[in-house]
Every structure is written in structure tokens, then in C-alpha cells.
Structure 1
Amino acid sequence: MSDVHDTMLLGSEGIKKTILYGGTGDIPKLTTGAKVTFHFRTQLCDDDRTVIDDSKVVGTPMEIVIGNMFKLDIWETLLASMRIGEVAEFWCDIIHTGIYPLVSKSMRRIAEGKDPVDWHIHTCGMANMFAYHSLGYDDLDELMKEPKPLYFILELIRVHHPSEYNRETWAMSDQERLKAVPVLHGQGNKLYKQGQYQEATQKYKEAIICLKNVQTKEKAWEVPWLKLEKMANTLTFNYCQCLLRMEEYYEVIEHTSDIINQHPGAVKAFYLRGKAHMEVWNEAEARQDFSRVLDLDPGMKKAVKKELGVLNMRMEEKNQEDKNKYKGMF
């Protein structure tokens, strides 16, 4: 263990650094586009040093690309002061930690194998983020209500310079992202037609993440933002079509409900949600969604009539099955 010492990070207010384990070599230059891999643990500044997040528990280190608008930009500052292999503890004041709960939520969803897309759909611009009632995790809601200073314990594993790795979508510039969207969309459609639904969802998801990344830099509900929102919603509908084929009905209900909350006139969202409700025997909800579709777009009459026919047949079958099942019980 190297000597423990406190240093203020040069030129940064509200940060104290303690090196817990010295790294090797010179401090790497973190140029724009460099990919940094590191472990992190986030703790409260209470007597128990309560752990909020720990990448080692999740089992995978964190990766960020420098200059890529990662929401918690303070981490770039902290990492820029470290050597490879170094473990350091940073105390960061509230000015740097206010946004942490939002970042933590998206990281947790990714770790749980859920789609970070959902939280993007909920959050249109900073104003809405803070108005949004719950992040779905009690400890993060607590922190959101009352931001606190936090300890970040970081371990710098490696730094790849831009030329040393393939540019994945999250490492692209906004221009490159927008160019990638129609390509990914097309690949997704092709895979869908071939019945490769799992692979298609990956393409759609990547395209949505590209759009949402660009969208976070636009002003919520203004024309450029709305254009991107419309494109992202179209892709989300394609994504949901795949999920229907994969029988992931509850996830379809979740995604379409998110869109309906933001855009109450989204016909396609009601239609897909109605189909998903039908599959999980939510008869009343399905009928309600299909009737909304007809209110919003009478041109969908034929499609809705077909779905309601299927629903009626299903419900009859289910009632008959239930009757037979209970007949033997009495």
C-alpha cells in the first residue's frame, strides 16, 4: 500500500482525493474518444459508509468514452488524475453528485439486463427528470430528494486510445450516430423478416440509444427534439413487434405505456399494447386500448375488428377451459 495522502484535485472545487493504492507509470492522457475501463464503488458519507453501487458486485467494470457527454462528467475529471492500477477515494461535494441517482438508475437497469432505453423515454430534459416521481429504487429516490456528498472509490484498469478499438455506437460523434440510425434500422427490419427477432431487437435497441444520446443535447419538446422522439418511437414500435413475437408481453406493455404517458395520441402504442394485453388475458384493458385506436384513427377499423375477433374467440375458449377445470372440483 502506498502512503495515504489527501490532495485537492488541482483547480476543482469540492473534491478531495486520497490514494489508497499507487498505480504504475505516468498518468495517461485522456484525450477525446479514449475508452476508459475502471471499477467504481459509491458510498454515502455516513458512519456506516453505506454502499450505493459497486461494479465489482455486478461483476463487470464500467467503461466510458471521454468527451462523449457521459452524464456524470465529474468521473472524467477524477479518472484524469489517476495512474493505471491506482485505487483512489474521492470525496465529492453536492455540486458534483446531484445527478448521480439518474446515472445510477441507468447503470442498474443495464446490470439487471433491462433496457436503459426506458429511462430515456421517461426523461425528457432535465426539468422533467426532477419532476418525475420515482426512479424505481428507494435509495436513489432518497438521494434525489436530498442530494448528499458522496465517496467514489475508483480503480483505473486500462485506457484505450481511439485508434485502438472499434468504434461502437456509444463511442461515435453525434453526426456518426445519426448516420448509423437508418443503417441499424434497415438491418433490424431484415432480421425481423428472417424471423431472427432477438438479433433484430439488438439492432433496434442500438439505433434507439444513438437517437436518445443525440436527443439529450436538444431542448425538450422543441422541433429538433420532437423529430428525434418520433424516430425513436418508430424504432421502439419495431422493437415491441419483436417482443410480441418473442412472447415478452409485459415488456411490450411497459414500453408502450411509457410512450402513451408522453404522447397520448400515439395510435400505434395503443394498438401494440392492446395486442400484448390480449395475450396475457387482460380483456378489459385490451378492449379499452383497441377502442382508443378507433377513436384516434378510424382507418384502423379493419385491423381492430380482426384483433377483437381473436380476443372474443380466445375468451370463449378460456371460459370453456375454466368451466371444465372447475367441473371436476365440485
Structure 2
Amino acid sequence: MDLSLIQKKILYAGKEFRPIKAGTKVHFHFVTKRCDDQTVLDDSRKMGKPMELILGKKFKLEVWEAIIQQMSLNEVAQFTVDKSLVASYPFVSKTLRDSYKPKEHRNHHCCGVSLQTEGIGYDDLNFLMKEPCDLEYTMELLSVEDDYKKETWQLSENEKVDLVPQLKEEGNELYRKGLNKEAADKYSEALAILEHLMLKEKPGDEEWNVLNAQKLPLLLNFSQCRLNQGEFYTVIEHCTTVLEKEPENVKALYRRGKAHIGAWNPAEARKDLQRAAELQPSLAQAISVDLKSLEEEERKRDAEDKARFAGKMF
């Protein structure tokens, strides 16, 4: 962008200037005027709230990012911008105006033919499209948030990779406190990030394998939370995913076995639990208790079935 096409005039000096980096969230008020006749096109205060922008996220009006990066916090300044840099302003303005209207009063998207014949639904913006001119922006920079908590979709891929172990540890801490649902939500968020990143890699490649290696323990942690919540079929599904990659994963076998008991699949439960005991003898005593309880429950159910169908003719 040719910054020589932007002229700045400070109306009120702000705090000490410091560079605003990409990824920073800023809030500001603005007034947009036509330079030729000083007609006011938009005023954020009349719209009801400040404009919010995250620098570097390819906002439709690139010149606003360039303007904001020339400002100090709490500064009020006037910028005269050459018409070549604001050709997209009518569309940005339409989006902003529509967003502040009740749904039933919004100007909905028009096809290309309608755009040519009817414009974009606002007479002043239609005129600006037909007769482009320089625009004047009066801006007041209200806040700069370098360390705000970004939504996941706003993160770079490197930031997403770094977030996964953080979410896992947060989930672990919640689990230790007995907060199964909250812990599961953390694990689920981490898993969603990994799934998104894995879609960009070829299965079996080194990058994909590295991501999958992070995914498997998260699936096990998530499964334990769901097991505690009695969501047995979810546990069976996720532990099976782990076992497809690691057939001798004892935690997956044990948790799937317990889930099979909950879902009352006794044959599958017995098979998983016995295999877990074979692979990790230190679990044998605990698993023997589970298997004994399983046998007792089977006998009880068999007796109930016999009593229920006793004397009935088939």
C-alpha cells in the first residue's frame, strides 16, 4: 500500500506511540466523510458501539489497518485517503450498517444482476460507487489488547500447536478436582485442534504421525471423563480408535472393557479386561474383582430371565 496516499492530521494527541503488531485486537470510533462535499457516510457512535478489528486478519478495508498502525492509544486523528485505496468502502459500509439492523430490516445479499441494476441498498453508497472520491476518516483509538484471549479460529497454526499441551494440562487439573465435564471440554477442544491440523497432512507422513501421537493420550483422558459420566458408547468408540493404532494399549483396553460392562456387552468386556491383565499383571487383582462382579451380574440376569419366562409357552 502506498502510504503517501494517506494524509494524517492529529486532532488530539494520545499516549506515547508504540508499534501495534499483527494479531492485536483494537477498538476505535470512526466517522467517514466524503472529501468533496463533507457528507457524513457513517458514524460508529450512531451505530451504537465502537468498531472492533484484529490486525492482520485480512479485513476487507486494508487501509484501516494502515491507519490504526499510525496511531497512539487515545489519539484522535483525521485521515484523508485517496479514492484508489477506498474502492471497497461501500461494501464494508453496507456490511456494518446491516449488522446493526434487526434481521428483518437488513438488506440481504443480491446477485450480480441486481447489484448492477439496484445497487447495494443505500443511495449514498450507490452514488459513491458511481462517483468515487477521496474519503476522510476521523478515528479515535480506544483500546489496544496485545494479550487478549483469542478464539481458536483466530490462532495461527503454530499457536494452535502450542495450545494443545496447555489445554491438556488444564484438563488434567480439572479432572484431579473431580470436574469431569469441564475436563472433557478441555480435552475435546485440544482434540478438535489436532483434527484440524491433521486434515492438512497426509496420513502416515511424519507430520501426521506426530500430531496423532498427541491425539491418542487425549482420547484416553477424554474417555476416562466420559466413563465417569456413564457415556459408555462414546468411550467404546474412542478407545477403539486408540487400539486400532496401539493394539496393546492397556488403558484403552481397560477403559473399553469397563464401558462394555456399562453398555452390557459382557463377552466383549471379558475379552478386553482379560487382555489388559495379561499385558499388565499389576492390574490382575483389580481386574479379577471386575470380572467377578461381571459374573455375578450375569448370573443375576440369567435368573431374572428364567423367572420372567418360566411357564410361558413358545
TM-score, scaled relative to structure 2: 0.50
Q: Which has the larger radius of gyration?
A: 2
**TM-score in terms of structure 1 length:** 0.48
